[in-house]
Amino acid sequence: MNIKMFLGRRSIIAFIFICLTGILGPVLIEGNPQDTAGAPFAYPIWWNSRNLPASADFAFNEKGCGFEWSKLPPAVFSLMGTIHADPKANVKIIWRTPRRKYILASLTGQSVYWLNLDGRDMIFKQFLGLPLIGKSVDFLFPSKGRYSLEIDGAKYADLKLSLPGQRHGLLGTDQRGRDVFVLLVYGIRTSLIVGISATVIASFLGMGFGLAAGYIGGWTDTLIMRAVDVLLSIPTLPILMVLAGIWGKGLWQIVLILSIFSWMGTSRSVRSLILTVRESPWIEGLKALGAKRSYILWRHLVPETAPILLANIALGVPGAILSEAGLAFLGLSDPRLISWGRMLHEAHSFGAFTEGAWWLLLPPGLGIVLLCLIFMDIGRYLEEQIDPRLGGGGRDA
Amino acid sequence: MNKSWLLRRIFSSLAVLAAVLVLNFLLFRIMPGDAVSTIIDPNFSPEAKNRLRALYGLDRPLIEQFFIYIKQMLTFRFGLSFLSRKPVWDELMSRLPGTLALMSSSMLLSSVIGIWLGVKASLNRGRWIERMVLRAGAVTASFPGFFVQLVLLMLLARTFPLFPLRGSMSIPQPAGTSAIIFDYIWHMTLPVITLTLMGFGGWALYVRNLMVRTMGEDFVLMARARGLTERQVVYGHAFRTILPPIITIMLMSVPGLVSGAVITESVFSLNGVGTFLLAAVSGHDYPSAGAAFYLLALITVICNFLADVAYGIVDPRVRIEAGNK
């Protein structure tokens, strides 16, 4: 096999790139991918962003502060921090918009106040006299102009006004405000681990059964091949769903479940190869020289199946990745485990459709497609190397 | 039709059915705890727990359970659903027509379109139609079906609201029979179209390969030499010989079709056996999950059997060969 040509193939370069991203990405990205990074359903920063505000934080001391606002309202209005004051004094926090002023809080009777106000809070909305259904930010940010926060009667204050915008990161955020790009990078690992390990296990199972069926023959052969026929004529997804439902949805359980139900193809092709090789003259010769069965099996038949096995692994990975994504899409995966299928599940179940949040849908889906195409291409290349007659796919079948 | 051949087919279908039954029995016995542990409250008294176990027959020996289970499965008495407390059979029967309609219409459409495109591609070697068929076959194999469906759903139901976002009926239901039928078709259009879109590529590729091989054979040359029209050569001679393999691929595509229908029902929130299975699996409703899985496997077995029989009808060699034995 020509190593230089192999490495020069586009699919191999893409595969190496994706692997590196999957391994290095989680190391380089700081923080937990499950943490909230911005407002829910924030757009990607480069998309349709002329009027949408980016996330902004403002720090205030007891004097208060003002700023200019020229965009649409932010996604969330939240004010946090501490205020120290004389217990007898009445502390008022006033939010001045270009239209009118709101008293956000009126505090008295303590020397220290901890504030945590959120515009989505029903009680806070009621306190402000805003409609309970609807977004409070539309009233707190009614138009362009100068906004200011004033604090009356405080000795000392340390407040932070957080205004998560509707723009965040390379690929926006999901329904919980997590960064989609970070999730995407973390998802690579799951897809690769599940896809590759399930296929490797399945291929070895298939090789074992195929060798047994082809070399031992007789009843073993009949039994294994009947089992293959039966397993191939049962719909896979329902059985995978039932198994994932009862056995558990962890990463390795899914790997195991997938590999139990995908060894059949490999065992068929290994068996047919063994059947032809078994009758060949050089095996006859070995037998005549007095070679033991186990010697023939391990030294001659197993190496003979290796190329088929390699191509089978590469061609089988897309199937495993698709199955895993399908299960995760149906919600039958560990909710704590970030995977592309899980991302699609959450996009489908938690309102990405009503929000029109395409950035929750396209990146994981296209990622799955890309990985599958890469493995198909590698597999086809390996197959061509094994059997040059297959070369150039598009010509006569 | 030849009797012994038919008997062999029936026997092999029954073997698959038996395997499904055993698998279905074992699946729900190898899990941690037992099937009623999810509906047993820890505060139940031991008597109540035992009564519940006895109600579901879990206090008997495994072998006895197995025979009771086989009897139940063969007579379609699946018991009560844990979730809805209604007979599982009624629940399944109210959902089965929807699933069958989805599966059969998409299978019909994708096979007809695929076969037609495949034949056309094989007659137009090297033209755009052949290149399109080759590409479609390769691309649809590596696209997760549900992703394509999600994208089309977002595009055609959200961005351009031509189709409904979810469900197999409008709520409230429209009045009048014709309005209900129209409403149902409107809801089913997008699922069927997307399933067809995912399926026709493989069909076209397969038929094209078969046809290319057949068109190079001597009997086609002979037919041409006899002065038959191209139409007669293609459809009367070449196409007829590839019918048996087409039926084989139909047989082999049924399990995939069932899987596709399950996931399609989830994407479009259709009311069908697939969504019922999913709800049962995620809600630990074991009687329902087992019954739904059994029903889906049964559909596959029946379809396989029908395809086998059709194969025998289309390919005379099968009958003659079997008759000689």
pLDDT tens, position by position, A360-391: 899 999 999 999 889 888 888 888 877 666 54
**Residue B320 binned pLDDT confidence (cut-offs 50, 70, 90):** low
Look at residue A394 in the predicted model and tell me its pLDDT. 40
Checking if the pLDDT of B323 tops 60, the result is no
Put simply, whether A51 touches B (Cβ < 8 Å) is no
Cα separation, A320 vs B104, whole angstroms: 26
Phi, psi (deg, nearest 5) at residue B263 = -75, -35
* Residues B29, B31, B35, B40, CA torsion sign: positive
Chain A residues whose CB is inside 8 A of the B157 CB are: 353
CB contact (8 A) between residue B297 and residue A243: no
Q: A239 to chain B: which residues are within 8 Å by CB?
A: 23, 27, 293
Mean pLDDT of B79-93: 86
- Answer whether B154 sits within 8 Å of A356, measured CB to CB: yes
> Is A263 in a helix, a strand, or coil?
coil
What pLDDT, on a 0 to 100 scale, did the predictor assign at position A50? 67
Q: H helices within chain A, ranges in order?
A: 3-8, 10-28, 122-128, 137-140, 180-211, 218-232, 236-247, 251-260, 264-278, 281-288, 293-295, 302-329, 340-349, 352-355, 362-386
Which of B27, B146, B157 faces A329 most closely, judged by CB atoms?
B146
Q: How far apart are CA B165 and CA A353, in angstroms?
A: 8
Inter-chain touch B28–A246, beta carbons under 8 Å: yes
Distance from CA of B45 to the nearest CA of A (A): 26
Q: Are A337 and A244 in contact (CB under 8 A)?
A: no
Task: Look at B158 and A356 and tell me if their CB atoms are within 8 Å.
Answer: yes
Instruction: Give the residue among B277, B324, B272, B292 at the shortest CA–CA distance from B79.
Output: B292
Report the mean per-residue pLDDT for chain A: 84
CA separation for the pair B22, B35 (Å, rounded): 17
**Which residues, in sequence order, are bridge partners of residue A159?**
A60, A81
The candidate with the shortest Cα–Cα distance to A103, out of A113, A112, A90, A114, is A90
- Cβ distance B134 to A394 less than 8 Å, yes or no, reads yes
Identity of residue B309: V
Task: Find where tokens 């390969």 sit.
Answer: B209
Taking the C-alpha atoms of residue A328 and residue A340, their distance in angstroms, rounded to an integer, is: 8
Residue A270's Cα: distance from chain center in Å?
34
Q: pLDDT for A254-298, tens place per residue?
A: 999 999 888 998 998 899 888 888 888 888 888 889 888 888 888
Please check the confidence at residue A397 and state whether its pLDDT lies above 50.
no
DSSP at B36: G
Alpha carbon separation from B28 to A20, A150, A199, A230 (Å, rounded): 41, 65, 26, 19
| DSSP state, residue B161 | -
Partners of residue A160 on adjacent β-strands? A59, A80
Determine contact: B17 vs chain A, CB below 8 A. Answer: no
Pick the residue from chain B with its C-alpha nearest to A345. B267
Beta bridge partners of A162: A57, A78
A275 touches chain B (CB under 8 A): no
Compute the distance between CA of residue A390 and CA of residue B213 in angstroms, rounded to an integer. Answer: 15
Q: Residue A229: its pLDDT value, please?
A: 85
Per-residue pLDDT of A158-204, as tens digits, reads: 888 888 777 777 888 888 888 889 999 999 999 999 999 999 999 99
- The tally of CA atoms less than 13 A away on the side-chain side of residue A248 is 10
Residues 6+ apart with CB under 8 A from B25: B66, B69, B70
pLDDT tens for residues B204-217? 888 998 998 888 88
Retrieve residue B9's tokens.
Answer: 């087919």
Verify cis geometry, omega within 30 degrees of 0, for the bond prior to A131. Answer: no
DSSP-assigned letter for residue B166: S
Provide the chain B residues 270-289 that lie in CB contact (below 8 A) with chain A: 274, 277-278, 281-282, 284, 286, 289
With a CB cutoff of 8 Å and minimum separation 6, the contacts of B29 are: B62, B65
Residue A134, helix vs strand vs coil:
coil
Distance CA A394, CA A382 (A): 16
Strands (E), A61-211: 65-69, 78-84, 90-96, 101-108, 112-118, 145-152, 156-163
Tell whether B37 lies on the interface with A, counting CB pairs under 8 A.
no
Q: Do B300 and A233 touch (CB under 8 A)?
A: yes
- Which contacts of B86-94 are long-range, i.e. CB under 8 A and separated by 24 or more positions? B88/B287, B88/B288, B88/B291, B89/B291, B91/B276, B91/B288, B92/B273, B92/B276, B92/B291, B92/B292, B92/B295
pLDDT over threshold 80, residue A48: no
pLDDT 10s digits, B46-67: 788 788 777 777 777 888 888 8
Q: Do A331 and B300 touch (CB under 8 A)?
A: no
- Residues 191-250 on B with a CB inside 8 Å of A are 209, 212-213
How large is the average pLDDT for residues B178-183?
Answer: 88
- How many percent of chain A have pLDDT more than 90? 17
Q: Which residue of B has its CA nearest to A229?
A: B16
Helix (H) or strand (E) holding B308, with range, is helix B286-314
Nearest CA in chain B to A353: B154
pLDDT tens readout for residues A126-167 = 888 888 887 888 888 888 888 888 888 788 888 888 887 777
A373 to B23: CB separation less than 8 angstroms, yes or no: no
Is residue A273 within 8 angstroms of chain B, CB to CB? Answer: no
Strands A112-118 and A101-108: unpaired
Residue A164's SS3 state is coil
Assigned token pair, B146: 């549900």
Return the closest-CA partner of residue B53 out of B77, B30, B35, B27: B35
Do A365 and B300 lie within an 8 Å CB cutoff? Answer: no
Q: Which helix (H) or strand (E) holds A56?
A: strand A56-60
Residues from chain A that touch B258, judged by Cβ atoms under 8 A, are 235, 237-238
Structural tokens at position B178: 């014709």
Instruction: For residue A31, report the phi and psi dihedrals to the nearest 5 degrees.
Output: 85, 170
The contacts of residue B265 (CB under 8 Å, 6+ apart) are B98, B99, B102, B191, B271, B272, B273, B274, B275
Q: Chain centroid to CA B13: how far?
A: 16
Tokens 């391994």 belong to which residue?
A23
What is d(CA B16, CA A355) in angstroms, rounded to the nearest whole number?
46
Is pLDDT of B230 > 90?
Answer: no
Whether B179 shows a pLDDT value over 70: the answer reads yes
Residue A90: beta bridge partners? A108
CB spacing of A348 vs B267 below 8 angstroms: yes
On chain A, the residues whose CB falls within 8 A of the CB of B31 are 246-247
- The reply to whether residue A230 touches residue B19, judged by beta carbons under 8 angstroms, is yes
Distance CA B36, CA B285 (A): 9
**In this prediction, does ipTM exceed 0.90?**
no
Q: CB-based contact (8 Å) between A361 and chain B?
A: yes
